[in-house]
Amino acid sequence: MKQDRQLDSFAADKLEITYEITGFDRILYSQKPSWENCEFLMEEEGRTSLRVWEDEIYNKDQLQQAKTRLERKVKSFILAMEFALSCPLQYRILHEKRPAIIAEDGTIELIEVVSVRDEAVSSVAPSMPLKEIPALPLECERWVLTLAEAHRFGDYVEEHLKRDYLIIEELWDEFKNKINNVQITQGLIDKIRLTRNFVSHQICRDGEVIDHVLNELSSAAWYEEEKKE
């Protein structure tokens, strides 16, 4: 019994995973955040690491559960950052340190995984970190990725509009009654839809699109056999 307690004491340790995150276009914070069980560092412009961990892990089941929780935590943080900055990010494991686990045959397993860093670039625009690590529900992933993808198109506003409207189109009916901004109405959404249709086609023959565009941009009209398009 005493030997078992000694083994348990030896095996109790933490799972620690360090991630590299690239794609930031700025330095985020003016000081190091204080987040529970994680450490976020921007060591230099464009080089960011996020170290997360869980303690009190004694067996393989706890290890796997902890690994899943940490992976979800990091992914949720990435989504929150992509949403806040409207830019796509990439991440990978730099280092994974696993606790010592006592196998069924009494042997001790201790595994470390190490990978190599890459270079990256960013610009400076720091702010104060939040009290808790930013996070978004993982269910939001496809919408956040669509929003972040638009960032790659720079000043091509029509490409931004196409992707932004994909999100509006899917979520408007569910959330329209929760929006308090009186300027955001069904009429505005309809105008955005018609504008999206206009920038998505070289020639628009839909009557609604034509009427909407000519009200806003009369020079866009042209005539084919006396028919306005």
Tens of pLDDT, residue by residue over 129-147, are 888 988 989 998 988 888 8
Cβ pair 109, 100 in contact under 8 A: yes
Torsional class of 152: left (φ above 0), alpha (ψ -120 to 50), beta (otherwise): alpha
pTM of full prediction above 0.85? no
Which residue, 175, 224, 183, 226, is CA-closest to 202?
Answer: 224
Specify the pLDDT at position 114.
Answer: 45
| Per-residue tokens: 75 | 């992914």
Q: Residue 165 and residue 147: Cα distance in Å, rounded?
A: 10
- Which residues of the chain fall below pLDDT 50? 1-11, 114-125
